[in-house]
Amino acid sequence: MKKTFLLLSGIGLMLAAGSLAAQQGGFTGPRGNQAANQRAGFTGPSQQRVMTVAEAKRLRDDAKVLLQGRIVSHKYGEIYVFEDASGRIDVDIDDDDWHGQEIGPDDRVEIRGEVDKGMRTLEIDVDSIRKL
């Protein structure tokens, strides 16, 4: 009886872990698979216009950006390489910004965030990412 209970408990834990893993998302390309929580929000039109990576690179620190393109690779930690027709830029995507989405290098995405200029770095601090 005790062995049956332990066996059933173990199976239940494995099923629960599999269900949780299915809810997580992240980059699925090279070196990727970040976990995230699923959330929902407003999906209607925005006043902000889509800009290019080249335009974003010329903006001041903390300027808001809206970019469309692809995440082509994972560099390290939460840093990824984003690309559009005008060029590439590093993007910082926190684990909770994935919202359960699995995104690969062939997927088009929309990124909202801010320019983050350091002494020797330039990247986009991502507030949200959405698969198009």
Q: Is the pLDDT of residue 126 over 60?
A: yes
Domain ranges of the chain: 2-131
User: What would be the CATH architecture of the domain defined by 2-131?
Assistant: Beta Barrel (2.40)
Across the chain, what does the average pLDDT equal? 81
pLDDT tens-digit profile of 44-89?
A: 665 678 999 999 999 999 999 999 999 999 999 999 999 999 999 9
- Distance of alpha carbon 62 from alpha carbon 124, whole angstroms: 9
Retrieve residue 54's tokens.
């080249």
Q: Which of 66, 65, 96, 69 is nearest to 82 (CA)?
A: 69
